[in-house]
Structure 1
Amino acid sequence: MTRTGDMGMTGRALPLRRWLAATGFCLAASMAALNAAHADDFTLRGSIEPEIRAFTQAASNSRQTDSDLSIAGEITAKYFWDGGNQSLVFTPFGRLDQRDSRRTHWDLREARYARVMGDWEFRAGFDKVFWGVTEAVHLVDVVNQTDLLEDPIKQEARLGQPMVRLRTTQNFGTVDVFVLPWFRERTFAGPNGRPAFDIPVDPSLTRYESSRQQRHVDGAVRYSNHFGDIDLGVAYFQGTNREPILTPALSKDGDLVLAPFYAQMKQASLDVQATKGAWLYKFEGFWRRELGREYEAATGGIEYTLYGILGTDNDLGLVAEYALDSRGMTARNPYQNDGFLALRWTANDAASTSLLGGAVMDASTGALGLRFKGERRLGDDYRLSLEAYFFGNVPRRDPVYSIADDDYVQLRIARYF
């Protein structure tokens, strides 16, 4: 196992920052020049999104507060040439946060070149990949690192991942091969941030099983295909586990903190979705080997949609899922014996109004988590988003106990241009 001190972390991060900056500058300069020459093949879109979070319970840490203001921005520049067979995409993202210095951050979600050659496609650069079909938790989605600063509860926001990707689509299906030359560490809230663990995470104490640390070259391959009403994905990943093991340690100031440890893993996974009229049947599962131990996890369920309820254009979806993990109850695994029930309402109006409300129940501890998300477009250029997360009846032994006092309501208003 390799340990990294403060100087080591800085030494590893600096080359990546320079690569990020150089990549972004070159792409931006190239796109600006290309835009001047071929405006019809260049698009530039972006958004500015103020956010307010209000926490309904008193903070467990005196450095934390009951509210937080921040603003985020994202720009996506795309250029296509060679009849659309070659492209450049550049998507920087950044946030400025009132309370948490770590949440004031930026990232390259995408900065990639792509070329299509008949049935083959080649991509290189920072990119995002999503695997999975279920609603409550995406067990098989392991290529991109989770950005906990942006989505601390559902954990669906992802950092851009440096990769080389080769895809071919044939009669037998689609095959994707990934080479991942650099590992992105998970982002965590700082001492002033919420939601956050009761004991803060100290990234400067990060350790790796691999002696190559962030430079370990990971790899993955995925096969996908459609068989009538069934969508199938089979994948294999080998490399650094995106989910760290957090262990107690002492910071350089002698404070109790959590130190991330990233182990190597091998994972084979399967995701399936079957569409039968108004019914959706979903399944995700994996087999994984890590630190000499093998374990399995699976989640699945159904979704039924009532179309045109009460003679209107509205649709109502009913979602029921269950997640099981052979590791049992651990701090890394909140979905080890959990059920999920939700209602999804879609207005099908010009404003794309939608609401999703759901509840997660831990069958082992009785802990309850409630989720709510509503979205609506305001005119042509604005979007309103409201989210709320609440926890109840969470015992100390439950994996989510550390954030059980971080119930919050979040309001975002995005301006698109």
Structure 2
Amino acid sequence: MTVTVYAGRANPVRRLSLVAAALGFSAGAMADMSDIDISGSAGVETRYFLQDAAYPGQPRSQASVFLEPEMYTEWNDGIDSILFKPFARLDQEDEQRTHFDLRELMWMHAADNWETRVGVSKVFWGQTESIHLVDIINQTDMVENIDGEDKLGQPMINLNVFGDWGTLSGFVLPYFRERTFPGEDGRLRPPVEIRENSALYESDDEQNHVDFALRWQRSLGDWEIGLSYFDGTTREPELLQATDGNSTPFIQPYYAQIEQYGVDLLKVQGAWLLKFEGIYRAGQSEDFAAAVAGFERTSVGVFGTSYDLGVLMEYQYDEREDNFFATGQNDLMLGLRWVWNDIDGTEILSGFIQDLDESDTYSAFVEASSRMTDNWRWKMDAYFFSSDQTDDTFYYMRRDDHVQVALEYYF
């Protein structure tokens, strides 16, 4: 069995020391900086769960507020720039979801055929919709949302080199971020407590282990090709069952050292997008391969309207059997993307993922958003889970179907 935990042991002082050293500038350079652009968002969010909780102490509803400002400045005619983007959430029920993170604090220097980024940043790799197998640089922020799209800031030194042969990106990652998980008073969790300070590591350096990554990407005609390699601490911990001195069971995350090889492909063919991601990972309790492949076909002006309608289908495969994070072992996702093409940017994405081995195991989601004014936007997400298999990930969330509504202000 595997689960999710709060990453409470991150060392912000160490991270900021790294950034401060990396962002050391002369007084002349500072004087040359242009004005600082300040933007960002803030909002309120509420979750309502459609069923009574499966485990004692869990709420039926959950409200929170968040703030994500963004500050940007540049100098040397835009050759150098700094981006600062903190994030904070205050949750009514779950103290583990009340958290602060430095999403980005990054200096970027750009030249004709290379650029470097130093500090705390976010990097996304991948092409598919239902799952992102190759995306491994940043740690998942699981207390934010169940879809795995939210990421913690990652300290890094990144060099990107450009040429006719494509783009080669190298990463040195000097500090590891533990995955966050809901607490005892939160939903979307297993029945056993996850001890946030109990994480184990294969490396004696623990969170100070230095990870490395490489990625090459290139456009070849209608194809976008990406090849990647990662060597370091896994972002997906194994979740071990343990007991304390009082014989109380709890879950202990274990972070192994891994190597991961990845490939991602995208082909644009008229109204069709053909997508693929595949990985091979070695170093955890079992070496395994995983892949996801599918398509998205968009009909423009469907039924004589101004709407665009995209149809998605993806097949998920994962060799692992008893792993909490291996949710797509032999699954099929069907989805619809409805784009209104209106001034408010209204868009709705829905999907249904069926386990092809177990007919009673599935999940579904709906994600919708639209602007109300130039500054205000609403978002609505809904997630549904079903499983009667006690060893399945969705069994622990079988009573956690919920609707999540947010009102966001952009400044």
> Is TM (by shorter chain) over 0.5?
yes
Taking the aligned partners of 2:335 and 2:236, their CA distance within structure 1 comes to 26
The aligned residue for residue 6 of structure 1 is: none
In structure 2, the CA distance between the partners of 1:160 and 1:410, relative to structure 1 (3 Å rule), is same
Kept in 2, the 8 Å contact 1:128–1:158? The answer is yes
SS at match of 1:19: helix
In structure 2, the CA distance between the partners of 1:36 and 1:388, relative to structure 1 (3 Å rule), is farther
Matches within 5 A, 1:297-336: 297-336=290-329
SS at match of 2:393: coil
Alpha-carbon deviation of 1:204? 1.5
Q: TM-score, normalised by structure 1?
A: 0.91
SS at match of 1:141: coil
The aligned residue for residue 187 of structure 2 is: 194
Kept in 2, the 8 Å contact 1:280–1:302? The answer is yes
Alpha-carbon deviation of 1:139? 0.5
Query: What is the percent sequence identity of the aligned residues?
Result: 38
Deviation sequence 1:313-364 (CA, Å, 0-9, x none) = 1100000000101223532311111100001100010000011111010111
Matches within 5 A, 1:263-282: 263-282=256-275
Aligned with residue 135 of structure 2, among 129, 141, 156: 141
Taking the aligned partners of 1:360 and 1:117, their CA distance within structure 2 comes to 44
The answer to whether 1:396 aligns with 2:394 is no
Alpha-carbon deviation of 1:100? 0.7
Q: TM-score, normalised by structure 2?
A: 0.93
The aligned residue for residue 19 of structure 1 is: 14
**Which runs of structure 1 show a deviation greater than 4 angstroms over 4 or more consecutive aligned residues?**
20-28, 33-39, 251-254
Matches within 5 A, 1:220-239: 220-239=213-232
- Unmatched tracts of structure 1, length 5 or more: 1-8
Taking the aligned partners of 1:213 and 1:27, their CA distance within structure 2 comes to 22
Aligned with residue 80 of structure 2, among 86, 95, 98: 86
SS at match of 2:197: helix
Alpha-carbon deviation of 1:412? 0.3
Alpha-carbon deviation of 1:370? 1.1
Kept in 2, the 8 Å contact 1:78–1:90? The answer is yes
One-letter amino acid of the counterpart of residue 75, structure 1: P
Matches within 5 A, 1:106-121: 106-121=100-115
Taking the aligned partners of 2:70 and 2:19, their CA distance within structure 1 comes to 12
What is the CA RMSD across the aligned residues, in angstroms? 2.3
Kept in 2, the 8 Å contact 1:240–1:265? The answer is yes
- Unmatched tracts of structure 2, length 5 or more: 1-6
The aligned residue for residue 4 of structure 2 is: none
Taking the aligned partners of 1:393 and 1:292, their CA distance within structure 2 comes to 25
Aligned with residue 125 of structure 1, among 108, 112, 119: 119
Taking the aligned partners of 2:246 and 2:368, their CA distance within structure 1 comes to 43
The aligned residue for residue 251 of structure 2 is: 258
Alpha-carbon deviation of 1:194? 1.2
Deviation sequence 1:70-116 (CA, Å, 0-9, x none) = 00110110111111110011000000000011111000110011101
Alignment size in residue pairs: 402
In structure 2, the CA distance between the partners of 1:38 and 1:121, relative to structure 1 (3 Å rule), is closer
Pick the structure with more helix per residue. 1
The aligned residue for residue 45 of structure 1 is: 39
Alpha-carbon deviation of 1:400? 1.8
Taking the aligned partners of 2:21 and 2:231, their CA distance within structure 1 comes to 31
In structure 2, the CA distance between the partners of 1:233 and 1:59, relative to structure 1 (3 Å rule), is same
Taking the aligned partners of 1:26 and 1:79, their CA distance within structure 2 comes to 18
Between 1 and 2, higher relative CO (CA 8 Å, sep ≥ 6) is seen in 2
